[in-house]
Every structure is written in structure tokens, then in C-alpha cells.
């Protein structure tokens, strides 16, 4: 995927993206920025940060030899070609096999099919999670326009999980450089109970294992041990640490360090305990640029530990 298409996708998913001297930056929280792609290595002084970063801050990956003051932690599945269903632990293997009895995974090739079939699944997902990013998609007309924009972006694979002819869930993946981004997943309540999240992730990893052009499957940023972290870690994802430079407005930094110490530790990339396996977790819509910080309070009515809002930087400081 070309960089411009990658940026267009991130904008479509709700991120505010600005370009400064050839570098794209996404505003992952008000006035806090990271580059796109987030793993992009930047030499200090080689570019300028967005003007808004003056009010809170920015963070970016640096070369190994540079003086780093933090880490960016991502959850990825190493893709060395040897993944198979038998490589999963017994419980997750059982869930994939159970799901495959009722569900099939196939591409959704046209925008017209997606508009008609995916909107009910999205509405069910929203009612369960109250996931606020791009929640305008509850409106059928907005969802249709959003779908048209999605299908205009090249090289995005749209997969659907079907029970008979009913679409229960959707994933979006794309390949950039040698990384396959497992960018988005949502499903309805019935498909969640039928373990579609496990079957979908298995299908994506199995497809990636067959491609020598893919070195890793990017799942999510590590968010401090929440339900989404547990979902991926228990299924074999590794925490990959990348040296980074964190730059905060002095007042914003003072407030975060003193009043939000846990969030500050997450910004520094300090690892909490590896999350325990989640027995029934759904991977919600993933945000590849979401920071490594603990989740905000879960306002979902669901008890599912993975029904969390992945936009989880510390609350915006009062300046």
C-alpha cells in the first residue's frame, strides 16, 4: 500500500492527520501526535512537529543508536511461515474449530454488498461497545458514503464472516511494506458467541503464513494489559519494543507525571505484567496508532473484556 493510501485509510477511520515538511502526523489525542506510520524512524532535528504539539506533545521512534527516553510497544505476530491451527493452545484451537462449523470467511468484493450486509453487524457492535470513533456510521446514509470511500482505497482486503448468507462480522487488512495490518474488526452479538473473532484472526494469520512477502501481522499497540492485549497475547502475539523520543509540553508533562502516573508510565513504554489469557474476548476496531497507555474507563454495557475504546492516551490536561 502506498503511503498516501495508508494516510487516506487512517483519515477514513477517524484520525486527524497533518503533514509537516513531508512527514505525516496523526493526532492520537488532542494536541498529542505520532507519525504515520507509527514505526517510522525519525532522526531528531530532521523534521518539525505539528504546531498543535506545542500544547501537549509528540512521540516518535528513533534509531537504535539515538538517545531514547521511552518505548513504543506494539503487539505483532511473527510471520515465519510456520503458523497453523495446531500451533494454537488447546482452548483457542477448540474455538476456531467450533466457529468453522457454523461460519465461513470470504472476501466482500463490492461496496454494494458491504453496504447492505455490514451495517446491521456494525449497529450490533456499536450497541454492545458504544465505540465512539466514527459513530456517525450508525446512520445508513453516512455508512454508505463511508463504504464508498473505503472501497476507493486500493489494496484493502475486506473479509466477512458469514453464517449461511448472513454477514456477522467484518475485518479490514492491508499490506504496507512487509507488515500486514489487521486494521479493523467488528461483529454482531451472535457471531461473537460463535467465536468469529478467533476464526477471523486464524484466517488472516493462515493467509499471511502462505505469503513470503509478509514478515509480521500487526495487531494493535500494547495498551497496558487490557482485554484486547490479553486476546492477542494469549493467541501468540509478541510485544515488540521500539526506542522512541517523547516530548511533552512542560506544563502538560508536570500534570501527567503528578496526577496520572500510571498513564505517564505507559507513555514511557514501561511494561505492566503480561496480561492473563482472556477466555472470551473480541478484538474491537483496531487503531494502529493508538498509544501505549492504559485504557479509559469502559462505558460499554457489555461484560466482554475486549469491548473497549482503543483510543487510550491520558485525559487531556487542563492547561
DSSP string, the chain: --HHHHHHHHHHTT-EEEEETTEEEEEEETTEEEEESTT-B--TTSS---GGGGGSEEEEE--TTS--SEEEEEEEEE--S---GGGS-HHHHHHHHHHHHH-EEEE---HHHHHHHHHHHHHHHHHHH---TTGGGGSHHHHHHHHHHHHHSTTEEEEEEEETTEEEEEEEEEEETTEEEEEEEEE-HHHHHTTHHHHHHHHHHHHHHT-TT--EEEEEE--SS-HHHHHHHTTT-EEEEEEEEEEE-HHHHHHHHHH-HHHHHHHTT---PPPPPPSS-------TT--SSPPPPP--S---TT---S--SPPPP--
Q: What is the pLDDT of residue 251?
A: 96
Q: What is the pLDDT of residue 81?
A: 84
Q: For residue 83, what is its C-alpha cell?
A: 503458523
Q: What is the pLDDT of residue 274?
A: 53
User: Grid coordinates 517510522 are at which residue?
Assistant: 40
Question: In this predicted model, what pLDDT tens digit does every residue of 236-267 receive, in sequence order?
Answer: 999 999 999 999 999 999 999 999 998 899 89
Q: How far apart are the first and last CA of the chain?
A: 39
Q: In terms of CATH architecture, what is 75-236?
A: 3-Layer(aba) Sandwich (3.40)
Q: Select from 235, 254, 215, 210 the least CA-distant residue to 306.
A: 235
Give the side-chain half-sphere CA count within 13 A for 145. Answer: 7
Q: What are phi and psi of 177, to 5 degrees?
A: 55, -120
Biggest CA-to-CA distance, the chain: 57
Q: What is the pLDDT of residue 296?
A: 37
pTM of this prediction? 0.83
Listed as ranges, residues in the chain with pLDDT below 70 are 272-319
Q: For residue 134, what is its C-alpha cell?
A: 466514527
Q: What is the pLDDT of residue 80?
A: 82
Q: What is the pLDDT of residue 223?
A: 83
Q: What is the pLDDT of residue 16?
A: 94
- Rg for the chain, CA atoms, rounded: 19
Q: What is the pLDDT of residue 271?
A: 83
Residue range(s) in the chain whose domain bears CATH number 3.40.630.30: 75-236
Amino acid at each position: 500500500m502506498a503511503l498516501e493510501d495508508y494516510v487516506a485509510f487512517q483519515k477514513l477511520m477517524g484520525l486527524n492527520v497533518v503533514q509537516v515538511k513531508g512527514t505525516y502526523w496523526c493526532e492520537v489525542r488532542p494536541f498529542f501526535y505520532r507519525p504515520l506510520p507509527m514505526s517510522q524512524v525519525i532522526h531528531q532535528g530532521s523534521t518539525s512537529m505539528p504546531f498543535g504539539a506545542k500544547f501537549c506533545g509528540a512521540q516518535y521512534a528513533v534509531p537504535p543508536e539515538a538517545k531514547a527516553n521511552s518505548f513504543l510497544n506494539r503487539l505483532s505476530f511473527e510471520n515465519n511461515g510456520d503458523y497453523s491451527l495446531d500451533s494454537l493452545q488447546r482452548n483457542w484451537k477448540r474455538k476456531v474449530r467450533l466457529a468453522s462449523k457454523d461460519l465461513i470467511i470470504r472476501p466482500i468484493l463490492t461496496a454494494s454488498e458491504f453496504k447492505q450486509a455490514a451495517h446491521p453487524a456494525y449497529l450490533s457492535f456499536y450497541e454492545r461497545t458504544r465505540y465512539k470513533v466514527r459513530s456517525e456510521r450508525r446512520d445508513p446514509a453516512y455508512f454508505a458514503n463511508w463504504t464508498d470511500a473505503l472501497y476507493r482505497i486500493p489494496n484493502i482486503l475486506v473479509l466477512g464472516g458469514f453464517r449461511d448468507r448472513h454477514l456477522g462480522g467484518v475485518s479490514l487488512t492491508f499490506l504496507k511494506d512487509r507488515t500486514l495490518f489487521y486494521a479493523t474488526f467488528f461483529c454482531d452479538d451472535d457471531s461473537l458467541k460463535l467465536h468469529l473473532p478467533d476464526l477471523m484472526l486464524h484466517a488472516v494469520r493462515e493467509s499471511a503464513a502462505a505469503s513470503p512477502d509478509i514478515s509480521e501481522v500487526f495487531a494493535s499497540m500494547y495498551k497496558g494489559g487490557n482485554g484486547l492485549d490479553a486476546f492477542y497475547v494469549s493467541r501468540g502475539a509478541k510485544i515488540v519494543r521500539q526506542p522512541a523520543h517523547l516530548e511533552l509540553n512542560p506544563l502538560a508533562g508536570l500534570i501527567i507525571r503528578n496526577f496520572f502516573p500510571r498513564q505517564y508510565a505507559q507513555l514511557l513504554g514501561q511494561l505492566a505484567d503480561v496480561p492473563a489469557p482472556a477466555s472470551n474476548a473480541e478484538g474491537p476496531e483496531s487503531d494502529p496508532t493508538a498509544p501505549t497507555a492504559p485504557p479509559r474507563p469502559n462505558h460499554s454495557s457489555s461484560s466482554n473484556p475486549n469491548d473497549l475504546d482503543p483510543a487510550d492516551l491520558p485525559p487531556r490536561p487542563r492547561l
